[in-house]
Amino acid sequence: MALDSYVTLGRSGLRVSPFCLGAMTFGDEDGLGSGVAESERILRTYLDRGGNFVDTANFYTNGHSEKILGDFFAREPGRRDRVVLATKFFGNLHLGDPNGGGAGRKAIIDQLEDSLRRLRTDYVDLYWLHNHDRTTPVEETLRALDDLVTAGKIRYVGFSNTPAWFTAQAHTTALLRGWTPVTALQVEYSLLERTVEGEIVPLAQDAGMAVLPWSPLRNGFLSGRYTRHGGRPGDVRRATAVGTPTEAEYDVIDVLAKVAEEAGVSSAAVALAWLRTRPAVTSVLVGPRRLAHLEDNLAGLEVTLTTEQVDALDEVSAPALNYPAEVNRRSASMLMYGGATVDGAKSVVYPPLLENARY
């Protein structure tokens, strides 16, 4: 697979690359990101390889991320319209202004105008709600977004970091009222963070929403640079900011390293390839800070894991899911199928059920 092996974004007609370029680290204001020159090298390489999906947010590096993208595309006539450009709203960049962020109508419109100015474009292809605004009625948010679609300023709507119940409510409300529905969900998802499998991934599967994992390497823990016996990235400041893996996380890292050695690729490539096997995952968000990181990540498109390798990674990283996910999973085979084989799997017989009901 390559970056130009495009996939459909959920239940929509939008085609995107299997890896999305995340621009959260474009801009080095905090000392942890990439300077303008390096950011542009990463972006150009991604696009030249056939990538067409770029993601940012209004508050990444205080708006500098959007400006770097805008300046780049302004110098490359015609290239912007060939790219699926996504940004997010919610983050408040105006100190003291209670309407500077969030998901109210005024906030959404003002944030979009600021993003369009920085991006030097008159529309964005995908506009994400970045977090759940508990104080704004969902109808207000959805109607404002639908109005912006009608105005041609945004084309698709996505949600990020929102609870499953709220996402389902919003999506259903939009469908019932004829407004623009939720096309995609951007969520934290990796071998070290799989709790989205309890509620959010099943929702996405049922509703036809695309899932885009962010932090697929869990702050670099799955990159191969961390080992149980002292391996650490050379960037001390970044290592201090993100901490170090726990013993349980090192159990996953060890199995990942073993599979990577078998496959002859990096741990990062295997971690990204594993995500591509997950239900509902459409495109994986990669956020390289250096061009070398991008090259390493793109190798994940060329990795095909064996069933045994996927099973090993699944087993060691199996999450403890919130109630009632585990109860439902166990009960499905124990109570529902009476020992019959369904979809290729033999069900478990509930102990009191011997042959037939007695009463």
- Please indicate, yes or no, whether the overall pTM of this predicted structure exceeds 0.95: no
* pLDDT tens per residue, range 228-264: 887 666 555 656 667 889 999 999 999 999 999 999 9
> What domain range is 226 assigned to?
7-305
Q: Residues 166-222: pLDDT tens digits?
A: 999 999 999 999 999 999 999 999 999 999 999 999 999 999 999 999 999 999 999
Give the chain's domain count: 1
Residue 321 lies in a domain: no
Residue 173 lies in a domain: yes
- Any residues with CB less than 8 A from the CB of 295 and at least 6 apart, and which? 45
Catalytic residues, by residue number, are 60
Query: Does 330 reside within a domain?
Result: no
- CB 228 within 8 Å of CB 30: no
Q: How many CA atoms lie within 13 A of 209 on its CB side?
A: 29
Q: Which of 89, 112, 216 is nearest to 160 (CA)?
A: 89
Which residue reads 């990235």 in tokens? Answer: 233
Give tens-digit pLDDT for 10-39.
999 999 999 999 999 999 877 789 999 999
pLDDT one-digit tens code per residue, 223-237: 999 998 876 665 556
- 316 assigned to some structural domain: no
Q: Is residue 158 domain-resident?
A: yes
Q: Which residue has the tokens 């009608």?
A: 150
Say what the pLDDT of residue 358 is: 60
CATH of the domain at 133: 3.20.20.100
Res. 348 pLDDT band, cuts 50 70 90: confident
Q: Does the pLDDT at position 311 exceed 60?
A: yes
Mean pLDDT of 41-48: 98
CA angle (172 as vertex; 55, 193 as ends), nearest 5: 45
